Amino acid sequence: MSVLILADHHDGQLAGTTAHVVAAAQQIVKDSGGDIDLLVAGQEVQSVAEQAAKLDGVNRVRIVDHAVYAHQLAEPLADLLVRLADDYSHVLASSSTTGKNVLPRLAALKDVAAISDILDVVSADTFKRPIYAGNAIATVQSADPLKVLTVRSTAFDAAGETGSAAIEAVDATVDNSLSSFVDERLEQSERPELSAARVVISGGRGMGNGENFKLLDGIADKLGAAIGASRAAVDAGFVPNDMQVGQTGKIVAPELYIAVGISGAIQHLAGMKDSKVIVAINKDEEAPIFQIADYGLVGDLFQILPELERSL
Amino acid sequence: MKILVAVKRVIDYNVKVRVKADHSDVDLTNVKMAMNPFCEIAVEEAVRLKEKGIATEVVAVTIGPKAAQEQLRTALALGADRAVHVSTDERVESLAVAKLLKRVVDEEQPQLVILGKQAIDTDNNQTGQMLAALTGWGQGTYASKVDIQDGTVNVTREIDGGLQTVALKLPAVVTTDLRLNEPRYAKLPDIMKAKKKPLDTRTPEELGVAIASQVTQLQVETPAERKGGIKVGSVDELVDKLKNEAKVIS
């Protein structure tokens, strides 16, 4: 039993979700005591490998430094993983847009199933995962020789950072004539990433328009929060899709989640109902969000938000 | 150029599912079914490419029971030219779906296949990537913009933290994200016309694909219900509770 994890990284930084994937891998090898290797593929990723080597439970970090992997395109990464996968019983990645893009491609190339978004490791071949927007949890068992899994990072605690794994270079380049990188536009923000934030404040259709989302800024600043949105707010064009929390967006589970002007559609609840404490602010006291909120405040958000900002 | 668009019959997105008493699966008896929302976006994009004169033919394909022909008729009413139904009553997992679609691709020889990024029943988010692997084509997943010219498709993808644009050599596979387009509603005359459009039925056996999966669903449970809490009367009370009771802010 041995696990290979595709590490998520960007701009020389290892993504925080990787530590959670390592924790899932530790559960997989718990009984058999197999090794956990981390694969860092990219261009000029030595610093990423050094960060990855600190994660507890990692046996070695395998680093592949080549321009073909620079933008984490699925075609070369899947080809690379195909070359390496024979040494492993499991290949894991986080349920990021990279992990979800690459791992199913790997699975099909290896003629095995992929299992998405695992929430729990029952045993080395049996996993729990959400279906129907998290309204049901399926337990699935794989008889494939290679298990290909994406991991919902919020469902696992992060592995510690006291380790010092060996870093080994792998010389493996592949050709990619199928796809090429054109450009990337990332939101520049001082705020934490939605999926890693300790506090998240999200706005819904009740915000009225995109301009009003600024009312969340001051509160987010004071709480060190990330700002999210419901699908309704995204569909209405208030904010971009990468702010979306829900079945079709990001899954978050912060210490504190504040839902503002969000009614609580099933698809939104699927993305945040595992938050530790949920606060709902809505003018409609019948809104379904109140059925799952720990603290509900009924009223006009345009009065409540400035008042909340002042009292924090 | 020809576009193949894959659609799936799923539970209507407004319906809340219930788990069966024996925990074998969710209960879909007498539940309203519809086309998966991301597939609607895929059909719309294909039809728009035809309206722009880029696509010459749009073929809709589905895999599923006889009733899934309803969703093919919907795709035809929205503007697809003809449809292929791969008929099976078995549960078909993503890899087998991708293999069946690969066979349809071999027969139809499209330049572009458009699929939804995920279906809202199993929430797998796999089939498009797997089809791209099996065909040996490039993949543009989570598309919010599709731009075709000179044997290339530029796909703007919704990734964590922003947008990424990739150029894919055609033929290629694209999967749709929410903001790619806003699907139209079918008009009554189009629904009537759709009934006369050609719809071929195939079987997995004819296509030479074994659909058995190595993954077994052992059990389905209802997640732990979260209990509602209390209503607070004021902002001050809320802040007090968060500080002193929940202790999540200081």
Q: What is the largest CA-CA distance in chain B?
A: 68
A160 Cα to chain B: minimum distance (Å): 23
Of A132, A141, A293, the CB nearest to B229: A293
Residue spans of alpha helices (H) in A110-223: 214-223
Q: What is the pLDDT of residue A195?
A: 80
Tell me, yes or no, if A216 comes closer than 8 A to chain B by beta carbon. Answer: no
Contact B235 A136 (CB under 8 A): no
Q: Nearest residue of B to residue A178 by CA position?
A: B138
Which of B32, B129, B175, B237 best tests the A interface by mutation, with the highest count of A CBs <10 A? B129
Name residue B214's amino acid.
Q
Interatomic CA distance for residues A210 and A205, integer angstroms: 10
Q: What is the pLDDT of residue A298?
A: 97
Q: What is the pLDDT of residue B16?
A: 84
Given pLDDT bands bounded at 50, 70 and 90, which one contains residue B193? very high
E strand intervals along A119-170: 120-123, 126-131, 136-142, 147-151, 166-169
Q: Nearest residue of A to residue B117 by CA position?
A: A248
In degrees, rounded to 5, the angle at the alpha carbon of residue A293 between the alpha carbons of residues A132 and A221 is 105
Q: Are A239 and A213 in contact (CB under 8 A)?
A: yes
Which residues 19-78 of A have a C-beta within 8 angstroms of B?
71, 73-75, 78
Given pLDDT bands bounded at 50, 70 and 90, which one contains residue A92? very high
> Contacts from A155-158 at CB under 8 Å and sequence distance 24+?
A155/A20, A155/A118, A155/A119, A155/A120, A155/A253, A155/A274, A156/A20, A156/A21, A156/A23, A156/A24, A156/A27, A157/A20, A157/A23, A158/A16, A158/A19, A158/A20, A158/A22, A158/A23
Contact B126 A255 (CB under 8 A): no
Contacts of A184 in chain B (CB under 8 A): 159, 162-165
Contact B246 A277 (CB under 8 A): yes
Q: What is the largest CA-CA distance in chain A?
A: 61
What is the ipTM metric for this complex? 0.95
Q: Give pLDDT tens digits for A173-187.
A: 899 999 999 999 987
Q: Give pLDDT tens digits for A272-312.
A: 998 999 999 999 999 999 999 999 999 999 999 999 999 99
Contact A136 B221 (CB under 8 A): yes
**What sign results for the dihedral spanned by CA atoms B210, B215, B220, B226?**
negative
Share the mean pLDDT of chain A: 95
Interatomic CA distance for residues A70 and A77, integer angstroms: 10
Tell me, yes or no, if A169 comes closer than 8 A to chain B by beta carbon. Answer: no
Interatomic CA distance for residues A245 and A270, integer angstroms: 9
Q: What is the pLDDT of residue B97?
A: 98
Q: What is the pLDDT of residue A248?
A: 81
When comparing pLDDT for B248 and B224, which is higher?
A: B248
When comparing pLDDT for A294 and A247, which is higher?
A: A294
Q: Are B103 and B209 in contact (CB under 8 A)?
A: yes
Q: What is the pLDDT of residue B179?
A: 84
In this structure, what token pair is assigned to residue B148? 């075709």
DSSP state, residue B38: H
Interatomic CA distance for residues B212 and A28, integer angstroms: 25
A49 Cα to chain B: minimum distance (Å): 21
Provide CB contacts within 8 A for B196, sequence distance 6+.
none
Q: What is the pLDDT of residue B161?
A: 80
Residue A267 has pLDDT above 90, yes or no: no
In this structure, what token pair is assigned to residue B114? 């458009």
Contact A242 B133 (CB under 8 A): no
B192 Cα to chain A: minimum distance (Å): 30
Of B13, B132, B160, the CB nearest to A96: B160
**Residue A78 CA neighbour count, 13 Å, CB half:** 31
When comparing pLDDT for B58 and B225, which is higher?
A: B58
Contact A113 B215 (CB under 8 A): yes
Q: Nearest residue of A to residue B169 by CA position?
A: A178
Contacts of A144 in chain B (CB under 8 A): 214-215
What is the average per-residue pLDDT within B179-187?
92
**What sign results for the dihedral spanned by CA atoms B86, B90, B93, B96?**
negative
CA of B227: how far to CAs of A90, A133, A204, B111, in Å?
37, 18, 22, 51
Residue B151 has pLDDT above 90, yes or no: yes
Q: What is the pLDDT of residue A1?
A: 87
Interatomic CA distance for residues A185 and B159, integer angstroms: 10
Q: What is the pLDDT of residue B44?
A: 98
Of A135, A235, A298, the CB nearest to B16: A135
In this structure, what token pair is assigned to residue B129? 């990537």
Angle between helix axes A97-109 and B127-135 (nearest 10 degrees) is 50
Site of tokens 């709480």 = A223
Which residues 281-300 of A have a C-beta within 8 angstroms of B?
285, 290-298
In this structure, what token pair is assigned to residue A65? 């430094």
Interatomic CA distance for residues A290 and A278, integer angstroms: 9
Contacts of B168 in chain A (CB under 8 A): 178-179
What is the average per-residue pLDDT within B157-184?
94
Given pLDDT bands bounded at 50, 70 and 90, which one contains residue A269? very high
Q: What DSSP string runs through B53-78?
A: TS-SEEEEEEEE-GGGHHHHHHHHHH
Q: Find the Cα–Cα–Cα–Cα dihedral B161, A302, A212, A227, rounded to 10°.
A: -10
Q: Give pLDDT tens digits for B96-143.
A: 999 999 999 999 999 999 999 999 999 999 999 999 999 999 999 999
User: A231: buried, middle or exposed (CB in 10 Å: 19+, 13-18, 0-12)?
Assistant: buried
Interatomic CA distance for residues B139 and B128, integer angstroms: 8
Contact A113 B144 (CB under 8 A): no
| Closest C-alpha among A142, B69, A41 to residue B60 | B69
Q: What is the pLDDT of residue A32?
A: 84
Provide CB contacts within 8 A for A31, sequence distance 6+.
A123, A124
Given pLDDT bands bounded at 50, 70 and 90, which one contains residue A139? very high
What is the average per-residue pLDDT within B19-40?
96
Interatomic CA distance for residues A139 and B220, integer angstroms: 6
Of A105, A139, A267, the CB nearest to B139: A105
Q: Are B17 and B11 in contact (CB under 8 A)?
A: yes
Q: What is the pLDDT of residue A60?
A: 97
Of A116, A199, A292, the CB nearest to B125: A116
Share the mean pLDDT of chain B: 96
Q: Give pLDDT tens digits for A30-39.
A: 988 899 999 9
What is the average per-residue pLDDT within B145-156?
96
- What's this model's pTM, rounded to 2 decimal places? 0.92
Contacts of B242 in chain A (CB under 8 A): 256, 277, 279, 295
Of B216, B232, B235, the CB nearest to A140: B216
Beta strand A166-169 pairing with A60-65: parallel
> How many beta carbons lie within 10 A of that of residue A297, not counting itself?
23
Q: What is the pLDDT of residue A286?
A: 94
Contact B242 A139 (CB under 8 A): no
Contacts of B133 in chain A (CB under 8 A): 78, 104-109
> Could you tell me the end-to-end alpha-carbon distance of chain A, in angstroms, rounded to an integer?
50
Q: Nearest residue of A to residue B217 by CA position?
A: A140
User: A285: buried, middle or exposed (CB in 10 Å: 19+, 13-18, 0-12)?
Assistant: exposed
Site of tokens 């806003």 = B182
> Could you tell me the end-to-end alpha-carbon distance of chain B, in angstroms, rounded to an integer?
61
Given pLDDT bands bounded at 50, 70 and 90, which one contains residue A50? very high
Site of tokens 């610093």 = A47
Q: What is the pLDDT of residue B185?
A: 94
Residue A145 has pLDDT above 90, yes or no: yes
Residue A188 has pLDDT above 90, yes or no: no
